[in-house]
């Protein structure tokens, strides 16, 4: 663990256990969360937040928390983001994480590419699609928003 944070694995483990709900073979962290993943502050008020599955991999699987290439990843068989059971985790890299996300169907890019219509039902076709900053935008919805915003500006004067 980084030099600026010195805390024992045992004390972290006790804190994690105190905020855990056990469901089947999963250890679900019920404390603070971010994006569905359990999260704890380590090192006091000036410490840093670390995901609980990363802390679990550090305690049980010898994950290097300072590594920029190692990641604590959930196995495909674990459906819970807040689970920190080491049996549901493995140490991997970003490439493995992306492959797992595609297999699991949680890959945002793949899910977006499958959509054929915008949320309002307009088709994503060649005439009605704007590509901006790597995203598809519906021209019909954009024009409606621009017109609405412009009308609001005019009414202010």
**Cα–Cα distance, 33 to 104 (Å, whole number):** 21
Query: What are the chain's domains?
Result: 1-107 (3.90.75), 115-157 (no CATH)
Two structure tokens written together for 2: 């980084």
CA distances from 102 to 76, 105, 132 (A): 11, 5, 24
Contact 93, 78 (CB under 8 A): no
Q: What percent of the chain has pLDDT over 90?
A: 53
The predicted model gives 28-56 an average pLDDT of 92
Instruction: Find, among 58, 39, 37, 57, the residue nearest to 49 by Cα.
Output: 39
Residue 64 sits at the vertex; the CA angle it makes with 79 and 35, to the nearest 5 degrees, is 35
At 75-126, the pLDDT tens digits run 888 889 999 999 999 999 988 888 887 787 776 666 677 889 999 999 999 9
At 44-61, the pLDDT tens digits run 888 899 999 999 999 999
pLDDT confidence bin for 4, thresholds 50/70/90 = very low
pLDDT confidence bin for 3, thresholds 50/70/90 = very low
More confident residue, 74 or 139: 139
Residue 53 sits at the vertex; the CA angle it makes with 107 and 37, to the nearest 5 degrees, is 55
pLDDT confidence bin for 135, thresholds 50/70/90 = confident
pTM here is: 0.65
């Amino acid at each position: 663990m980084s030099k600026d944070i010195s805390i024992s694995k045992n004390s972290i483990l006790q804190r994690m256990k105190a905020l855990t709900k056990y469901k089947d073979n999963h250890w679900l962290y019920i404390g603070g969360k971010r994006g569905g993943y359990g999260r704890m502050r380590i090192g006091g008020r000036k410490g840093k937040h670390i995901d609980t599955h990363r802390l679990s991999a550090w305690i049980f699987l010898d994950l290097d928390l300072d590594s920029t290439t190692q990641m604590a990843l959930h196995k495909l068989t674990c459906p819970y983001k807040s689970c920190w059971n080491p049996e549901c985790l493995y140490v991997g890299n970003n490439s493995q994480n992306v492959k797992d996300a595609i297999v699991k169907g949680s890959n945002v890019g793949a899910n977006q590419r499958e959509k054929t219509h915008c949320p309002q039902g307009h088709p994503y076709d060649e005439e009605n699609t704007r590509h901006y900053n790597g995203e598809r935008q519906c021209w019909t919805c954009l024009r409606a928003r621009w017109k609405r915003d412009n009308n609001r500006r005019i009414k202010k004067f």
